[in-house]
Amino acid sequence: MSTALAEKNAHQLALENFDLAADALQLEGDIREMIKYPERILTVTLPVRMDNGRIRRFEGFRVQHNTSRGPAKGGIRYHPNVTLEEVKALATWMTWKCAVVNIPFGGGKGGVTCNPKDMSQGELERMTRRYASAILPLIGPAQDIPAPDVYTNAQIMAWIMDTYSMTKGFPVSGVVTGKPISLGGSLGRNEATGRGVFYTTQSACERLHIPIKGARVVVQGFGNAGSVAAHLLDSAQALVVAVSDSRDCIYNKNGLDVPKLMMHKDSTGAVAGFPGAETISPAELLALECEILIPAALENAITMDNAGRVRAKIIAEAANGPLTPEADTILEDKGSFIIPDILCNAGGVTVSYFEWVQDEQHLFWDAHDVYARLERVMTTSFIDVVKIRDERKVSMRTAANMLGISRVAETTRLRGLFP
């Protein structure tokens, strides 16, 4: 890890990107003061009875960054490395992300510092319900709407929805999104993030005159978003040559059979051991020559230390914050086209919005409608960001931040200051 990166946490990096965009917008100081920092921060202690009968204490967080455009919206992650600074950064990015795709939500985020891989289903349920109870004063369909994130899923959302509903005395399906279909979930939600990555990557290829057919694709992080994006690109006849998960990286210069790889990952829990693929190192994976690189793991995957070795023409940020500002500069100078996270991976929150709308209306759409609406939102947002990039001669990231921040600034000016 570089010294510069070690000195900055995720929230500081988020603020740095905010300042770059705010400066480019010549945003007035009063508005900066109102929209730069989180509105609410809740830290909770979660005593949980484990299967062995002992009580173990976990720490959880929920941050609402900005609600000027609507209820806070953002996932909940369970991970050993969850910190308050990380959650603040993720909530900040969610504010700009929702504004970039022009949906009426603000930014929120939650997390619990734990290792869900070491916990039983019963322990996860008890911890989830305890966490939901602890953040209950902050959440609700008109206040703050959680969703799945790293190591959380539809079942965990169902437990949160049930915990909230039991305290209210009636079912409240709109309190979370990413729920099971039978509890008011939306068709297409599970693959929405990866599908959004595909739509924006497709738009980038069209802009750069790179044919998707035969384009070499490298996916760092073969989880939900990464595997769906890989599958859709493979279906469009791109060549997925390398993928990685948290344990291994595999490579085949002639292309991996993505549907079979997805089945292999489902059955074994890992990409390792996939027939016809060789094992490579994480550093080698990022340095592969390719048309499309999809960082779909965690923050800060590409830094000033390894950005110089990246040879991708398009970098589609399926993860949140996978590039540091220093890496951005290096890759921009090399001519890489970066699709920033707040645009690239906004498919998840967009279909979460669709789910919330369906829950509030008690009227549900078919999958074709969801996909068509999502494609329209993602391609329109891509065009909006590229327009700012070209007109203002800024990077794609700064352009996306400018778009999101300008929309939040506009609502803040219109609403004014209370009291």
Lowest mean pLDDT among 6-10, 118-122, 270-274, 317-321: 6-10
Task: Quickly state the pLDDT bin for 1 (edges 50, 70, 90).
Answer: very low
Going across the sheet that includes 311-316, the strands are: 278-280, 249-251, 239-244, 216-220, 289-295, 311-316, 337-339
* Catalytic residue IDs: 109
Predicted pLDDT of residue 321 = 84
Lowest mean pLDDT among 1-15, 223-237, 277-291, 383-397: 1-15
Residue ranges per domain, the chain?
37-183, 192-344
Choose among 144, 69, 52: nearest CA to 104. 69
Same fold, 37-183 and 192-344: yes
Predicted pLDDT of residue 349 = 96
Predicted pLDDT of residue 4 = 45
Per-residue model confidence as pLDDT tens digits over 71-97: 999 999 999 999 999 999 999 999 999
Report the CATH superfamily, name and number, of domain 37-183.
Leucine Dehydrogenase, chain A, domain 1 (3.40.50.10860)
Predicted pLDDT of residue 211 = 97
Task: Quickly state the pLDDT bin for 7 (edges 50, 70, 90).
Answer: low
Per-residue model confidence as pLDDT tens digits over 189-246: 989 999 999 999 999 999 999 999 999 999 999 998 999 999 999 999 999 999 999 8
Per-residue model confidence as pLDDT tens digits over 236-266: 999 999 999 988 999 999 999 999 999 999 9
CA distances (Å), origin 384, targets 92, 133, 377, 397, 404: 21, 40, 11, 12, 11
CATH topology of domain 192-344: Rossmann fold (3.40.50)
pTM higher than the cut 0.85: yes
